[in-house]
Every structure is written in C-alpha cells, then in structure tokens.
C-alpha cells in the first residue's frame, strides 16, 4: 500500500506494460523489453489489423526458436514464442485452426467471427527442422524482378506466417560488386558489358551470362541497395537468418585488362548469350576478391553467416577429377572463412540433378569432401521430383534440406505432386538412411500460383508425420472458401487424381496457345504433354461452376474458379489446333478456316476470363518494371526486360523462347493471338506449300519488335469472374469432349 501511494504512476505504467506484453509475473525471468516485441506487434497490425487487440504476445521459456504455443489468457489469445517467426507461425496456426481463415498469394480469407474463439486448451507445436529454407535464384526474376518495398513487406510477412527462417537474399548484390570492382580501378565503361539487366540477375549471379538486358543504370544499383537493407532489417527483426551470396569466381570480361596474368577459364551456358569467365580457384586473386566481396557485403548488409555459392550451375567443370573438384570447394570455403570465420556454405544441389551424367559418385564426393560436414548445407533442390539424397547416401554426411521445386519459369499450369508433398518429407525425416537432414524448404522458380501446394508443403514444417491428404483438403477448402461443401470436396478429389497427380511429366503442361505457332502438337518449351486425360478434368469444372453461387464472397474460390476454367480451356486449345492440322493435311480449306477462327476466339475468351483477376494481368508486370526508371530511357529498358523474359527470354534466336511463357490477360490478346493470326494467314497464302522454317524466321522479327515496343496494359481487373466463367462454361462445355475425343495421338519426343 505504501509503495502504491508513493509511486502510483510507476505502478500503473508497469501494469499497463505487463498487460500489453502479455507477460505474467511467473515469466519475469524471460520477459523481453517492449522494443524487442515491437516487430511482432507490428506484424499483427499488418496481418490482422481489425483483430490485433485480440492477441497478446508471450515468450516461451526454454523453447528456442523451433516451437510455439497458443493459449487463452485473460480473455485473449496468447501467442507464445521466442522470435517473430514462431509468433507469426502461432498466429497463422490460430487463423487456420480456430478462425478458419487463410492467407495466400492468390486469395485471402480473413472473414473472422466478430468475437474470436479462445483455445480451450493450450496447443504446442514444435518443428523437427532447424532450417526452413525459402527461394531459388530464379524466383528473384521470374516473380520478383520488379518488387518494391510494399510487395516485399507482404512477402516477408508471408514467410514468417509459414514458418520460414532461412530465406535467400540476393537483392542489391549488383551494388556490392560495383563497389568491389571499382575498388580495383574498374570504371563504369569496364563494367557496362558485365552487369545484366534486372530481369536476368539470377543467371548473371550464377555465371550463366553477362550483360544481357543492360546496361544497368547506377540508379538501380543504389535503389536496390536501399531495398535490400529494408528486406534484411525486417527479416532479421522477425528472427530469420538470410542467406547472402559469396564469390564463385565469375568475373567481368574486362578482368584481363587489370589482371593480365589471371588464370581465367572460359565457359558458355549454351543459350546464345556468349562466353563468361571464371577465375580459377587456385589463382591467389580468387581468395583476395572473395574476401573483399564478403567484407564489403557485411559492411553494407551485415551477415548471418550463411552464404550461397554455386560455381557450376548448368555448366560443367573443366575437369572431372575428384581431387580437382575437392580443391576447388576447399578454396571457395576457405575464401568464405577468411572474411567470416563463422561461415556456413549453402549449396544448391541442382547440378547433381541437371547434369547427372557428369556428377557421378566420385565427382560428388570429391566436391563435398573438403568442407566440414557442419559447415555446409546442401539444398536437395527438387526432392519431390527426384530425391538426390537417396542416390548420394544423404550427401555423404553433409547437412541437407528437403525442398519442393514445383514450378519452372513462372509458367501458369495447375500441377503438382500433391501426394508426394503430403507424405515424403516426414518419411524422409524418419528414414534411418536420411543422414543429416536438417531442414525443409521451397525452391520454386516462381511463385503466385497453385497456392494449395505451398500451403500443404509449409504445413509439414510443424510436424514429423505424413499429412493425411483427404482430411487436410477438407480443412484447406473450409479455410479458403469459408465453408465445407461436399461438391467442392468431390471436385478436389478429381483435381488430386488429375492435375495434381504428379506423374509422367516433370512440371506443369503448357497450352499450345503459348507455343510459337506450328502444326505440331508442342514445341520445345511449350510442352503440352499432360499427366491426365483432359476430359477427366471436366467433372471438376462442372462442380465448381455448380457451386459458384454458394461462394460469391470468397476471394480464394474466385481465383480457383478462374484458374480451373483457364486450365480446361487452355487444354482445349490443343485439339482445336490439331483439327487445323488435319484440315490442312486433308486440303480442306473450309474446315481450316472454321477451326482457325475457333482458336482465335478461344484465345480472346481466355484473355477476357483472366482479365477478371489481378493475378493474371500483364499490366502490373509492365507498370512495376517502368516504375523503377528515373528517366524515359530507363523506363524503356526495364519494360524491354520485362517483355523479353516472358516471351523470347533472350534475343530473336534464343532457344529458351517460351520457357517463361505466361497465360496472362494482355499477353494472350496482344502477343499469342497476333502470332497465331500471322501463322494462319501464312498458311492460307501458301496453301499446300507452307514452310514452317520460313515462317519461324519471319515471326522472330515480329516477336522482337513486340519485345521492344512500349505500351501500357490494364493494371486493375475488369469483369465479374463468376459471370465470365459461367458464360464460357455455357459456350464451351458441350464442345470440348467431341473434338478432344477425335484428336489423334501426339508423338511427344522431348
């Protein structure tokens, strides 16, 4: 009583602080300062602004950062954990399991009850994975090329909510390299043919190409240095440990000007981008430059002691001698340790999959043997496709991470190995031969598609047993659409058996619409081979269309309805196109004209459907690219980068054209449709003597002009997803089976 009378204001302040922070008197020994909890409270305010006051944040004594708890406390929901990732994971667990909501790139449901339900009993979840990895070099371009801080802030929150604690962080590295080389006397002129344009950084950092899409403006280097600082600051505030790059030997062609005696090795990616140069690890300059790079990087960006380095991404080493490969790894790691004695090397294991003819047991052992087991982490980059760990005795003792790659090139396709993702991570975790399995991760080449696969994969993070898929999908659809619905569950059973069965093909099938026009049933990167009979997908479409009125207010349902409708119609384009071929072979001009018009109409109908969702618009991709330009010339450069990546990928003769094709409104009507129109006109003008090679040479010129033009596209959706999907269902549903059933088999020889 005396204390209260003497210090009333102090007591009131202390009580308020305890209530705000949710720290009981029995937790005084682990109580965190208010400043330490501010990032977590800010996350609550961003994610659930209308309900943030319903939660309190507590610490979790003795739990490290691999556990969280949820409990009722003083009429509120207590989220207990020892860093931001744990707190965010607790929040998302509550959202899914109690409030029946969901947060994905493609549809969010935060329609909570006015009074949030309290947990009846405390719930504790522990992760068996020390590392929860996120991102692939390629993601930074196929999806993230033009992101600003607002978009990055949302993604970092998404990472935290989904348990990610180890994200790759390569934004802004061009600034660091600019500083390093200029410290040796290099000028902007010396470096102008080195730095790529912003759409191609992923392959530039991996040593596959120099200069393409450039020259890179100084304003970009500085603006993305500042962006990376924000990304890292927020990630670290939430308890993540970002993975930063290390030197792998890739140097400018002008390197010889300054170091004429340097031992450089020429390499070529093989995709018409010219030679790049690798500094031999035995050259004393290798260690010197590597050390200088890491020191400059730490000065500007700090460090969490994890470094990514991939010397031979889709390039074969100059020697297959295991001793040479081991010495190379040793030099790379020694270079890391020289700058950071606590360094741990994080290596993508993609090379062991993509170039398996080179990387046999002796070569893999040689490469890995010279780095201590506890200082190297291997990303089994495509474990759900081909688990390399099973072929390498779990990477011969190294720490490794089970990853889902799933998407290649940002292609739009309903696809995934859904049963593998539900079962195999836990089976590997409990396998006596899985060695030093320490993590789980997502290494897709692009995001913002197929949200079901990413929700499923990240749900493995907080469990050590396989996921029972049927019951999981029941919860997933309830959270996504706002209610359990038997017809929708039946539709998802069909999707699991068709689009998501994960057999036969490596990645999702493309539509013939996206192919450089041809009479063939596919082209190199517009691969149309499917893992299911397209007619088997139609009953799922029937069920979604039938349930549309029940879920009018569901953002997730609207996306899924559009995506499923898109997939059905994209599949249907192939039998229509093959009827064009048959008509030409039968010298039936009338049938050719009929089916050609149907294909062109189908493309425009698809464009109209996709225009109803921002997820499927070209406009934001172009507008976001231009937004980074500080001059008209820079804006034009960035727009050209943006257009090129998703169409030709490189120059007119580049063999990667269509690798990153997109089924987006704007691309369909402004690129794919005019291309098919020119094909149809050329066939009609040369009836009986049509020459595919002559057409290809001609269309390349038109494609390159499209890449270099400047034109704005809508950045906001138009039309009603439900109405347009129903109208196209009424128009096409009865047509699809008759034409699909008579389509001749296609000889897929890729």
Which of the residue ranges 146-150, 277-281, 394-398, 490-494 would you say has the lowest mean pLDDT? Answer: 277-281
Q: Are residues 106 and 143 in the same domain?
A: no
Distances in Å between the alpha carbon of 35 and those of 42, 261, 611? 11, 54, 44
Residues pairing with 317 in the sheet: none
* Cβ contact 619:712 at 8 Å: yes
Q: How many C-beta atoms lie closer than 10 Å to residue 111's C-beta?
A: 12
- Could you give the angle at which helices 692-708 and 632-645 cross, rounded to 10 degrees? 150
Q: What is the pLDDT of residues 660-691, one digit of tens each?
A: 999 999 999 999 999 999 999 999 999 999 99
> Does 203 share its domain with 324?
yes
Token pair recorded at residue 386: 């081909």
**pLDDT at residue 655, rounded to an integer:** 94
Q: How many residues make up the chain in this entry?
A: 750
The dihedrals phi and psi of 582, each to the nearest 5 degrees, come to: -60, -40
| Cα–Cα distance measured from residue 336 to residue 251, given in angstroms and rounded to the nearest whole number | 17
Do 449 and 536 belong together in one domain? no
pLDDT above 50 (res 33): no
Cβ burial, residue 587 (10 Å; 0-12/13-18/19+)? exposed
3-state secondary structure at position 597: helix
Q: In whole angstroms, give the CA distance from residue 175 to residue 254.
A: 18
Alpha-carbon gap, residue 347 to 360, rounded angstroms: 17
For residue 442, the SS3 value is: strand
Task: Check whether residue 135 and residue 112 sit in a common domain.
Answer: no
Residues 673 and 544 in one domain: yes
Instruction: Show the domain range for 210.
Output: 131-247+282-488
**Domain-terminating residue out of 125, 148, 178:** 125
Q: pLDDT per residue over 249-301, tens digit each? A: 999 999 999 999 999 999 889 888 999 999 998 899 999 999 999 999 999 99
Judge if 154 and 113 occupy the same domain: no
CATH for 612: 1.20.120.670
Mean pLDDT of the chain: 93
User: What does 359-385 look like in DSSP terms, one character per residue?
Assistant: --HHHHHHHHHTS-GGGEEEEETTTTT
Q: What is the CATH number of the domain that holds 221?
A: 3.20.20.80
The predicted model scores a pTM of 0.94
Contact, 579 vs 595, CB < 8 A?
yes
In a domain, 372, yes or no: yes
Q: Is residue 335 part of a domain?
A: yes
Please identify, among 78, 105, 125, the residue that sits at the C-terminal boundary of a domain: 125
Torsion angle in degrees (nearest 10) through CA of 607, 609, 611, 614: -130
| Together in a domain, 555 and 626 | yes
Give the span between the Cα atoms of 549 and 411, in whole angstroms. Answer: 30
**Is residue 276, in this structure, part of any structural domain at all?**
no
476 and 571 in a single domain? The answer is: no
In this model, does residue 6 exceed pLDDT 50? no
36 and 161 inside one domain: no
Residues 304 and 371 in one domain: yes
Tell which residue, 431, 375, 367, has the closest CA to residue 399. 375
Which of these three, 72, 98, 125, is where a domain ends? 125
Per residue in 677-730, pLDDT tens? Answer: 999 999 999 999 999 999 999 999 999 999 999 999 999 999 999 999 999 999
Helices then strands, counting H and E runs in the chain, come out as: 29, 17
Residue 497 lies in a domain: no
Q: DSSP assignment, residue 75?
A: T
Dump pLDDT digits (tens) for 350-378.
999 988 899 999 999 999 999 999 999 99
Question: Considering the domain boundaries, does residue 494 fall inside one?
Answer: no
Neighbours of 408 (CB within 10 A): 21
**Strand pairing report for 399-404 and 436-442:** parallel
Q: Tokens for 140?
A: 């930074």
Q: How many domains does the chain have?
A: 3
Spatial neighbors of 179 by CB under 8 A, at least 6 apart, are: 296, 300
Distance CA(611)–CA(664), nearest Å, equals: 8
Residue 125 clears pLDDT 70, i.e. is over it = yes
For residues 290 and 332, the answer to whether their CB atoms sit within 8 Å is: yes
For residue 142, tell me if it sits in a domain. yes
Band of the pLDDT at 65, cuts 50, 70, 90? confident
Burial class (CB in 10 A: 0-12, 13-18, 19+), 42: middle
Q: 102: domain CATH number?
A: 3.30.379.10
* pLDDT above 50 (res 96): yes
Same domain, 320 and 399: yes
In a domain, 408, yes or no: yes
| Phi and psi, residue 282, nearest 5° | -75, -20
Is 747 inside a domain boundary? Answer: no
- Cβ atoms of 569 and 605 closer than 8 Å: yes
Other Cβ atoms less than 10 A from the Cβ of 628: the count is 22
Helix (H, G, I), strand (E, B) or coil at 438: strand
Name 267's bridge partners.
276
Spatial contact of 178 and 189, defined as CB atoms under 8 Å apart: no
**Residue 41 pLDDT exceeds 50:** yes
- Do 480 and 612 lie in one domain? The reply is no
């Amino acid at each position: 009583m005396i204390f209260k009378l003497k210090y009333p204001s102090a007591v009131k302040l202390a009580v308020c602080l305890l209530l705000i922070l949710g720290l009981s008197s029995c937790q005084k020994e682990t109580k965190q300062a208010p400043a330490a909890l501010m990032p977590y409270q800010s996350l609550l305010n961003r994610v659930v602004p209308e309900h943030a006051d319903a939660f309190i944040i507590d610490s979790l004594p003795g739990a490290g950062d691999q556990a969280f708890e949820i409990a009722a406390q003083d009429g509120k929901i207590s989220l207990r954990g020892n860093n931001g990732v744990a707190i965010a994971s607790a929040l998302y667990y509550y959202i899914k399991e109690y409030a029946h909501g969901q947060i994905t790139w493609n549809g969010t449901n935060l329609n909570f009850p006015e009074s949030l339900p309290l947990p009846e009993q405390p719930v504790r979840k522990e992760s068996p994975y020390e590392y929860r990895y996120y991102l692939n070099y390629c993601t930074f371009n196929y999806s993230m090329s033009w992101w600003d801080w607002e978009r990055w802030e949302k993604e970092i929150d998404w990472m935290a909510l989904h348990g990610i604690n180890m994200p790759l962080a390569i934004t802004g590295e061009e600034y660091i390299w600019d500083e390093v080389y200029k410290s040796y006397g290099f000028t902007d002129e010396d470096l102008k043919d080195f730095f790529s344009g912003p759409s191609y950084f992923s392959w530039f950092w991996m040593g596959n190409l120099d200069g393409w899409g450039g020259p890179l403006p100084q304003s970009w280097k500085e603006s993305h240095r500042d962006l990376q600082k924000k990304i890292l600051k927020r990630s670290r505030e939430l308890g993540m440990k970002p993975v930063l790059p290390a030197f792998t030997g890739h140097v400018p062609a002008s390197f010889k000007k300054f170091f004429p005696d340097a031992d450089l090795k020429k390499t070529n990616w093989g995709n018409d981008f010219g030679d790049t140069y690798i500094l031999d690890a035995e050259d004393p300059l290798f260690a010197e430059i590597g050390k200088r790079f890491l020191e400059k990087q730490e000065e500007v960006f700090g460090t969490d002691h994890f470094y990514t380095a991939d010397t031979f991404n889709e390039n074969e080493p100059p020697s297959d001698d295991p001793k040479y490969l081991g010495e190379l790894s040793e030099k790379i790691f020694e270079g890391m340790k020289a700058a950071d004695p606590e360094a741990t090397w994080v290596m993508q294991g993609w090379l062991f999959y993509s170039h398996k003819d080179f990387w046999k047991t002796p070569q893999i052992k040689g490469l890995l043997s010279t780095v201590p087991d506890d200082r190297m982490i291997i990303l089994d980059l495509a474990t759900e496709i081909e688990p390399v760990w099973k072929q390498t005795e779990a990477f011969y003792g190294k720490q490794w991470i089970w990853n889902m790659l799933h998407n290649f090139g940002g292609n739009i396709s309903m696809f995934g190995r859904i049963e593998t993702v539900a079962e195999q991570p836990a089976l590997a975790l409990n396998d006596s031969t899985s060695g030093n399995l320490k993590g789980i991760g997502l290494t897709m080449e692009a995001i913002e598609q197929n949200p079901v696969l990413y929700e499923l994969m990240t749900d493995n993070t907080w469990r050590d047993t396989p996921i029972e898929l049927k019951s999981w999908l029941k919860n997933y659809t309830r959270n996504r659409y706002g209610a359990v619905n038997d017809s929708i569950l039946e539709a998802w059973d069909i999707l699991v058996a068709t689009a998501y069965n994960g057999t036969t093909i490596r990645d999702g099938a493309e539509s013939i619409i996206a192919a450089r026009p041809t009479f063939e049933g596919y082209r190199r990167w517009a691969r149309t081979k499917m893992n299911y009979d397209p007619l088997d997908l139609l009953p799922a479409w029937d069920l979604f269309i039938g349930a549309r009125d029940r879920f009018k207010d569901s953002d997730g349902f609207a996306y899924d309805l559009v995506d499923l409708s898109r997939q059905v119609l994209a599949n249907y384009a192939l039998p229509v196109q093959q009827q064009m071929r048959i008509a030409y072979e039968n010298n039936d001009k009338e049938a050719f004209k009929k089916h050609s018009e149907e294909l062109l109409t189908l493309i425009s109908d698809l464009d109209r459907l996709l225009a109803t969702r921002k997820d499927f618009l070209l406009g934001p991709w172009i507008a976001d690219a231009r937004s980074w330009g500080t001059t008209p010339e820079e804006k034009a450069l960035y727009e050209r980068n943006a257009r090129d990546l998703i169409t030709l990928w490189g120059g007119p003769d580049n063999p990667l054209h269509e690798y990153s094709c997109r089924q987006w409104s704007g691309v369909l009507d402004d690129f794919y449709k005019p291309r098919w129109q020119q094909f149809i006109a050329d066939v009609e003008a040369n009836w009986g003597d049509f020459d595919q090679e002559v057409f290809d040479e001609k269309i390349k010129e038109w494609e390159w002009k499209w890449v270099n033009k400047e034109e704005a596209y809508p950045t906001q959706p138009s039309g009603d997803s439900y109405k347009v999907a129903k109208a196209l269902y009424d128009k096409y549903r009865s047509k699809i089976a008759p034409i699909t059933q008579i389509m001749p088999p296609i000889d897929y020889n890729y």
